[in-house]
Amino acid sequence: MTLAGGAERGRAYRCEGLTLRKASIGEADLVVTVFTAEYGKVRAVGKGARRSSSRLVGHLEPLTLARMSMARGRELDIVSQAEVLDGFASIKADLDMMTRGLYVAELLDGFGPEDSPSPALFRLAVNVLRVLPNAADPESPLRYFEFHLLRLTGMLPELYNCVECRREVEPDSHRFSVNLGGVLCPDCRPLEAQVRPLSLRAMKVLRLLHRGSLAEVSALKLNPSLSLELKSVLSGAVRYWLGRETRSNAFLERLRVDTAT
Amino acid sequence: MTPDNLPSAFPSLARLVQELNRLPGIGPKSAQRLAYHIIRLPDEEAYALAEAVTAVKRNTVYCGECQNLAESSPCQVCGDHRRIRSIICVVEEPLDVLALERTRSYRGLYHVLHGVISPINGIGPDQLKLRELLERLADPEITELVVATNPTMEGEATAMYIQRQLGRDDLKLTRLARGLPVGGSLEHTDETTLIRAFQGRQEL
């Protein structure tokens, strides 16, 4: 089988992979879902990886970037060696931060293609995980991730021209439609559109997410109502395309409510 | 889900295969092998197996204190007056209690959560026996809580969640040490474990 635009995976291959999730199978094995630059999403078995004496133990935890040697299997590949490159320890030291990291992993799992090279998406995820603990507002890198995840998977939100009549939208008179994929001018009212208002400030931040660098976005400290508006727009878009609520986002919300009460 | 190659004229065998096939780690082939093995067993052995399954279901209860599976409530550990009643060790699963009991070095009480918080699998605090733990901790006699969830990301998430939910400042909260396994090697140890092992080094 030839991979779309990429090198064919040999019987044995090496890759850098970000572990997204793991599940136990058999007596002491793990099935891990790993996101790689070269091959997209890969599912592989870590034989005996649940034993504390296994050479793989600790190297296949979720949210761990590792250099891996894999053997091609019939259904699932097999992890023959793994060595941690970045364990994202500061993300895992805090429950809210860990849940945000898992949100990144859950979206990669949901949107990431299998058997298809995805170097840009891989770099995006790793970079976002790296800046997350030190960001001025940890929600900002998540919005950056959502925005560029949509862009890289072909669902870039249109922010400049009305998605219906294609005219350039005037400042402060726009609305946003998740299912039509971008902004709408005041004159267009397509029947099928799910429309929500979009403040001018939110629009500006969305354009910064589009044009700005991750470093610029990570320095942003947004006021709570603007932060909530952006979350509602972008997490809403992600949820729409994914077709379900993300579990980690629901858990993050639960933590927020727990802290508030 | 009846396996195709079993004759429909043998419905009781098909049913047994189907039931065995539901067990974790048992695929359709193993289920058939086990079913034929059971058929060939002497009657009393086969009935003893059936009786054991029935009895374990009939006699098992959750211990009202530690939530472990037991034949009585309170369970043997909670009912044992020689145990130290001021320490509770919280674990994920009943099998973890067995593992710790085998060490014969812990003499306190347990609390079994029956799972672990896993945001990515949609398992939240409400699906665990966490509320019961917090109720037990309201007792001022309890002075230490040892969090012995696994050193995995979910285990850590659960430990951090418990820490947040504790309403008592006077309770000593501890976590099992993380470090090198006996028989392991530095070369193959991941960086997080090595850092933890270094932080937890002890005087010789």
Q: How confident is the model over A105-119, as pLDDT tens digits?
A: 999 999 999 888 999
Mean pLDDT value of segment A173-198: 85
> What pLDDT does residue A197 have?
87
Q: What is the pTM of this model?
A: 0.87
Pairing of strands B69-70, B109-112: unpaired
Note whether B25 contacts A26, CB cutoff 8 Å.
yes
pLDDT-based confidence at residue A6 (cuts at 50, 70, 90): very low
**Does residue A256 register a pLDDT over 80?**
yes
**Does residue A244 register a pLDDT over 80?**
yes
pLDDT-based confidence at residue B187 (cuts at 50, 70, 90): confident
3-class secondary structure, A110: helix
Residues 107-126 of chain A with CB under 8 A from chain B are 109
Mean pLDDT value of segment B129-149: 95
Distance of CA A117 to the CA centre of its chain: 16
> What pLDDT does residue B186 have?
87
* Spatial contact of B168 and B151, defined as CB atoms under 8 Å apart: no
CA-CA-CA-CA torsion for A255, A257, A258, A259, nearest 10 degrees? 90
Nearest residue, CB atoms, B119 vs list A25, A53, A251 = A251
CA angle (B64 as vertex; B59, B67 as ends), nearest 5: 80
> What pLDDT does residue A33 have?
96
Alpha-carbon gap, residue A113 to B182, rounded angstroms: 40
Distance of CA B183 to the CA centre of its chain: 24
Contacts A–B by Cβ distance under 8 A: 72
The answer to whether A105 faces chain B, any CB pair under 8 Å, is yes
The answer to whether A62 faces chain B, any CB pair under 8 Å, is yes
Range with lowest mean pLDDT among A185-189, B109-113, B147-151: A185-189
Nearest residue, CB atoms, B119 vs list A87, A109, A247 = A247
DSSP class of A218: H
Note whether B157 contacts A98, CB cutoff 8 Å.
yes
**Does residue B2 register a pLDDT over 50?**
no
> What pLDDT does residue A51 have?
85
Pick the residue with more confidence: A257 or A10?
A257
Mean pLDDT value of segment B129-143: 94
pLDDT-based confidence at residue A260 (cuts at 50, 70, 90): confident
> What pLDDT does residue B8 have?
65
Average per-residue pLDDT in chain B? Answer: 91
The alpha-carbon gap from A156 to the nearest alpha carbon of chain B, in Å, equals 25
Residue B113, token pair as written in the block: 């959560």
Q: Which residue of A has its CA nearest to B160?
A: A95
ipTM topping 0.90: no
Nearest residue, CB atoms, B120 vs list A27, A55, A248 = A248
Give the percent of chain A with pLDDT over 70. 97
Give which of A18, A50, A53 to mutate to test B binding, by max B Cβ within 10 Å: A53
Write out chain B residues lying below 8 Å of A109, CB-based. Answer: 120
Note whether B152 contacts A61, CB cutoff 8 Å.
yes
Q: What is the pLDDT of residues A123-172, one digit of tens each?
A: 999 999 999 999 999 999 999 999 999 999 999 999 999 998 998 888 76
Contact residues, chain B to chain A, C-beta under 8 Å: 25, 117, 119-122, 124-125, 152-153, 156-157, 160-161, 164-165, 181, 183-184, 188-193, 195
Note whether A248 contacts B164, CB cutoff 8 Å.
no
The alpha-carbon gap from B166 to the nearest alpha carbon of chain A, in Å, equals 12
Alpha-carbon gap, residue B50 to A216, rounded angstroms: 66
pLDDT-based confidence at residue B184 (cuts at 50, 70, 90): confident
Q: What is the pLDDT of residues A215-232, one digit of tens each?
A: 999 999 899 999 999 999
The alpha-carbon gap from A4 to the nearest alpha carbon of chain B, in Å, equals 29
In 3D space, the residue among A180, A156, A160, A178 whose CA is nearest the CA of residue A170 turns out to be A160
Average per-residue pLDDT in chain A? Answer: 90
Note whether A87 contacts B192, CB cutoff 8 Å.
yes
The alpha-carbon gap from A96 to the nearest alpha carbon of chain B, in Å, equals 9
Pick the residue with more confidence: B132 or A9?
B132
The alpha-carbon gap from B151 to the nearest alpha carbon of chain A, in Å, equals 9
The answer to whether A256 faces chain B, any CB pair under 8 Å, is no
**Does residue A68 register a pLDDT over 90?**
yes
Range of A41-45, B1-5, B164-168 with top mean pLDDT = A41-45
What is the side-by-side strand order in the sheet with A182-184?
A: A182-184, A175-177, A195-197
pLDDT-based confidence at residue A78 (cuts at 50, 70, 90): very high
**Does residue B74 register a pLDDT over 60?**
yes
Q: Find all residues with CB under 8 Å of B203, minimum gap 6, and list them.
A: none
Which residues does residue B145 pair with via DSSP β-bridges, in sequence order? Answer: B88, B173
